[in-house]
Every structure is written in C-alpha cells, then in structure tokens.
Structure 1
Amino acid sequence: MVLRVFRRSGGSATELAGAAVPLERDLQAYVERNMQMLLGVLFLDTEVRTGPLHGGRIDTLGLDEDGSPVIVEYKRTRDQNVINQALFYLAWLRDHHDAFEALVARSLGPEAVAEVDWSSPRIICIAADYSRYDVHAIGEMHRRIDLVRYRMFGEDLLALELVASVAGNAARSGSGALTVARPTAEQRLAGTAQAVRALYDELDGRLLDFGDVHSVQLKQYTAYRRGPNFASVKVQVGSLLVYLRLDPATVGLEEGFTRNVRGIGHHGTGDLEVRITSPAALARAAPLLRAAYEAVA
C-alpha cells in the first residue's frame, strides 16, 4: 500500500509528492535528534565501530522503553542489504554486552544498566521502501525486527510507516545452537491458579484482537505494542497487573482496581495500573484497554 499525503485547502485537496532524502546521513541525523519522539527509543550513540572482527559501524544504538537494546540501520532508498547488515551487527551486540552496558552507563547513568533486558534485542530498519521478499524474510529470522518506510513531503514533512513488525522468538547462543531467548507466558504462569491462567488467556486474546498489535515476551512482563507499547501485563500469584499508556488524571481511580503509578517504580510501561482478579474486573477494564490502544494510533 502506498502512503499518500494531501494538503487541505478550503474544500479542495492537493496531493504532495513523496521523495527520498538526498543524503542518507541527513535522515540518520534527523532521526537521532528526535529518536524518542519518532521511534520511542532513547538515543545512545552513533556510528559505533564494531572492531576488526566484524569490521563495520552500527548506524545508531539505542534503548527502548522496555530496556531492550536497539540497533537502527538506515538506507536512503530500497536496499535488501539493510536487513542483512543489521543482523550482522546484532551478532556483534550479542557478544558485547559489556560494551553496550558501558555505553548505557555513560549516556544514562550507572543505575540504568540494571534495567537493560537482554532477552529480546531489537532491530529497526528505516528505508524508502521494501520488497515483499523483505517482509516475508523477517518472519523467518526469529528476531525482533521492525521495517519502517519513510517518505519526505516537501521540506518539512516526514512520514514514518511501519511496514512489518516481527516479535521474534529465539536467539543463537555463542555456540550457534538455537536457544529460547526470553521467558514464555507459560513459564510465568507456572504455579499460579487456574483462574489466573484463564484470565491471562482472555486478556491476551482481547489485546491482540484489537488488530495491528503484537506481543513481546520480556523478562518481567509481556508488552503489547502498536508501535510503542500501549499495555504491559505482569503475572502475579493471584492476579494480573496491567500497565496502560493512559494519563491517570483522566480516569476515575478506584481503590483495589486502578492506581496512579506515575513516579512509582514498576516493571512495565504505562502510568495507569489496573489490577485484574476476576472476569468481572477484566470486563470493567475493557474500556481502558481500548482507550490505551487508541491513544497510540
């Protein structure tokens, strides 16, 4: 599907012609300056040298809202090598946790290192376009990969379109063997009551049924993403805690059900905590789940 942009003028519409940037470096510099706004990723460093073994430079390194390391690679036009190049650098990142964490400490402070989650590193590729083969290929790679298409409209409009996104489910160990890279929902639910397991399954289905959503199993919780996270689900012994990307001031808080956790440390992204202990509580939470999903449109 081609992204079309129109300028409204009175009752008429004029289509703006999209174009690629003249220089790849211009795109990279602009994204890096605005990375948190555009991608929901904290910028760490640019043009990171990978040493003599890998012999290259990673365009951008960052840290996303879940604490996952992020590699961002750019191509001014369509280029199949952007995915292969990013995977090549992912191998370097997997073998250099210490170098990445040192970078986090320098950029964000030593305390931020404890929040780095190595269970599911991400790749974000930004290019002018992708082929159907690119979209199919990332589904076979078992990595967290986002393909983002960009277009420039005039001098001041940049459009970013998520073409494909794969949650991934495994990573390779240093020996090359395929290993599970992060805990599964089953592992988190082990030992919990059957009622909680049933609630999780129902909640998971409701969140995914919204449409353009995928879930990512992280070390402490499951994130539900539509670009950025809109919900994070943490399993407890007798309940589920859901953190939603909603302003708590816009919600009528109810003790034991909803809580403002802005400024309170917690696993998961979002300032509104919803405690789900029963099917009735899940039904009451449904409008809040929908509101959080729509808020990140």
Structure 2
Amino acid sequence: MAGLQVFRVAGGDVRRVEGATVEFERDLQRLVEANMEEMLGGVRFMASEYSTGPVHRGRIDSLGLDEDGSPVLVEYKRTSSQSVLSQGLFYLAWLIENRGEFEALVEQRLGPEAAKQVDWSRPRVICIAADYARYDLVAAGMSHHRVDLVVYRRYGDDLVTLDLAASVAGGCGSSTVGQSERMRPSSPVRRTVSDALTQVRSELRELYEELDARLLDLGEGHSVELQHYVAYRRRRNFACVRVLAREQALVVFLRVDPATVQLVPGWTRDVRKIGHLGTGELEVRIASVEDLDRSMSLLRTSYAAAT
C-alpha cells in the first residue's frame, strides 16, 4: 500500500476517495501562489512567471523567500514528469548567477532590510507534481542542492493534499555559489556553524552533537546548515541553533510563545522585540547537558508547533 489514502466516513462505513490532478497546470500554480505561505510552510510569494531574459529565454513558475531568507524557486507539473526537477535546477543556476535581480525583487516587495538579509548559502528548489519517477528521487539526492519534491492530489472541489516525497538538504561548499560571485574580491568571509565548532572546546562540540541528535529524534524533521545557523524543520523551522564560540555556549531559537513560559535569566529569554539571527521568539541558552535536559519540553513544544 503506497501513497496517501483518503477515506470518507459515514455511519461507521468508509469509502475511499480517489485523488485526481488539476485540469490545467496554471490552476495549481495560481492556488499555491495565492496561499504560498500557508501551503509551503512559511515561503512568502515574490513573483509569478518571472522572465530570465532574452539570452536565457525562460520563465520561472514562481519565486519566493522562505522564513530563513533563502531564495525559493517553485516549478509545477500537472501530471507526472521527469523534467520538472531538471527544469528547476536549470533555473536555479540562472538565479544564482543573477542574485542582484532577485534581491531587487525582494526589496521591491519587502523593503531594503529584507533584501540585505537574503541568504544565498542554501537556495531552494520546490517541485510540485502529481508523481515522480524513481530517477527523480535519486537525482534530487545527487544534485548537491536543496530540493523538495512534493506530490499533490485534488479531492473534489474543496480538498487538496501536499505530500513531501523527498527532501534533500544539499551539500556544503561553493556548489551553490556562482563563479562571478566567487571571483569578487570584496565578498565578505562568512563563518558558519561548522566554522564556529572548530573554535570551541571539545565538550561544547559533544554537547552540540547531543543537541543535534535529540532534535532529529523528535520525529520527521531534518536539518539544514545556513549562513548564520542550523535550521531544524518540519514544514517550518522548529529550532535554529547558533554556536557562540566566545561564550562557549549554544543558543537555540524556538517556535514557542514566550508568554507561555516562566522565563529564567541566563537560560530562556523573550526575543520578540530583539533582533536575532534565526526564526522563533523564544531564546534558550544551552551550556551543559543539564541545560539540555531541562530544555527538552520546550524543544518538543516547538516541534509540535512547526506543522
């Protein structure tokens, strides 16, 4: 038994509801674009049918910006298709080489501050189609880019499902950086969590590994190392982890309402009105296994809220 099974229950009896595809691909695109933040887990809509210019001669179905500030490119196929992933990666190469255009688009829609915060360390490709061949699933893992393959189904006039068939975090290094950007002498050196971990005591590295294991053991989540932090996510982020090398501590931002928590100085802090690198409104500082143990209920609460 494979795939999502949907049943209608009436009087104790169940009847299977058969899924269908949309009649026109553009119908699916319009639906997602009008509801992108809800349907794609925090991705804000930026543009539709974005032209890649007279030389490249293409059109990107949808452009968005996720909650981490990462560029998102969305491609749709009404039915099953082996071309949607390659098409998405083709457009991603153009997007990486034309960062200025995307940042100008973000500035136009969200303002100059949002444009400055665009994080190019892990741009995303989201493909939405009726199904995928096994070749697509293997190719996604081999692409070294951040890729989500999503299966959609329509049930009647008022129900649409989105099912994540595969999610790939992408590799580290310069594979997501265009050659023109690498050659810029003025490009700043950016330190990642991996860099910070090389500058801390072995005890803190071990604590980070334990935190990482416990976050992933909460359930279906996965992690992505971004420019300033490691994001742990389901549909949305449930934890953002930073390593503070100078303070020899870990800081975790959680999707927990600080008003529901009794704040403890030195451990938990309300950051709703404080600028910070990471999503979530509750800051939790972890400097020992004891801190991690007492934080577990907060981690579970945040995980449950990230649906």
Q: TM-score scaled to structure 2, two decimals? A: 0.91
Give the match for residue 239 of structure 2: 231
Give the match for residue 167 of structure 1: 169
Does residue 56 (structure 1) correspond to residue 58 (structure 2)? The answer is: yes
Q: CA deviation at 1:7?
A: 2.5
Does residue 265 (structure 1) correspond to residue 265 (structure 2)? The answer is: no
Amino acid at match of 1:3: L
Matches within 5 A, 1:173-188: 173-175=177-179, 185-188=193-196
Matches within 5 A, 1:50-199: 50-170=52-172, 171=175, 173-175=177-179, 185-199=193-207
8 A contact 2:145–2:176 mirrored in 1 = no
**1:212 aligned counterpart, secondary structure:** coil
Counterparts of 2:176 and 2:274, CA distance in 1: 35
Q: CA deviation at 1:136?
A: 1.4
Q: CA deviation at 1:190?
A: 2.4
Give the match for residue 243 of structure 1: 253
Give the match for residue 186 of structure 2: none
Identity of aligned pairs, percent? 56
Question: Could you say what the CA RMSD is over the residues aligned between the two structures, in angstroms?
Answer: 1.9
Give the match for residue 15 of structure 1: 16
8 A contact 2:150–2:163 mirrored in 1 = yes
**2:232 aligned counterpart, secondary structure:** strand
8 A contact 2:255–2:282 mirrored in 1 = yes
Counterparts of 2:16 and 2:265, CA distance in 1: 51
Q: CA deviation at 1:182?
A: 8.0
8 A contact 1:182–1:217 mirrored in 2 = no
Q: TM-score scaled to structure 1, two decimals? A: 0.94
Count the aligned residue pairs. 294
Deviations 1:172-227 (A, max 9, x none): 55459x9xx98654312122222221211110111122332221111110001112
**1:191 aligned counterpart, secondary structure:** coil
**1:29 aligned counterpart, secondary structure:** helix
8 A contact 2:46–2:65 mirrored in 1 = yes
Change (3 A) 1:45 1:9: same
8 A contact 2:229–2:277 mirrored in 1 = yes
Give the match for residue 218 of structure 2: 210
Counterparts of 1:175 and 1:41, CA distance in 2: 27
8 A contact 1:41–1:63 mirrored in 2 = yes
Deviations 1:37-92 (A, max 9, x none): 11120000000000122211000001000000000000001111100000010011
Amino acid at match of 1:266: H
